Amino acid sequence: MKRRGTFLLILVVIASFAIWGVYALPKHLVGIHQSAVTQELAQWKDEYSVVDSHASAVRTAGMIEYVGNYYVPSEGYRGTPDTEKALETQRQETIDAIVEALCAYTKEDFGEDSEQWLEYLETAKPLPSSDDRQL
């Protein structure tokens, strides 16, 4: 009788881990990945928040669309609500910093429209770099 109780207990523990593994583990692992993506977006915010040449403006403009589509939560890629909120908040902060840098450099404002920024930069005469302006 004692063996039967131990066997049932072990079976319940195994079943609990199996259920957790099927339902909670993927969300937990996605949450870990989403936290890493959030940190990467913060690094990009720092990296692309200063535009000091035409070449860096072109690279920065291309990042608007890239950042907007980079690991966006969707079906099959869901973390916890708090993790997803932090990710989307950082995504918008990064895009805002990119747009602000482009506006400051070009004195134009095309908002979050990466295509329009790139079209403008393709036809615009390159501005002197910040090093050239200080001379």
Pair of tokens at residue 103: 């506006």
Mean pLDDT of 50-55: 96
Domain boundaries, given as residue ranges, for the chain: 25-126
Contacts of 53 (CB under 8 A, 6+ apart): 126, 129, 130
pLDDT beyond 80 at 128: no
Q: Is the pTM of this model over 0.75?
A: yes
3-state helix, strand, coil in the chain (%, to 5): 75, 0, 20
Percent of the chain with pLDDT over 90: 70
pLDDT at position 132 over 70: no
Residue 22's pLDDT is what?
A: 61
User: What is the SS3 assignment for 74?
Assistant: strand
b (16+ CB within 10 A) / e for 89-125: ebbeebbebbbebbeebbeeebeeebeebbebbeeee
Residue of 111, 108, 131 lying closest to 120 (CA atoms): 108
User: 127: part of which helix (H) or strand (E)?
Assistant: none
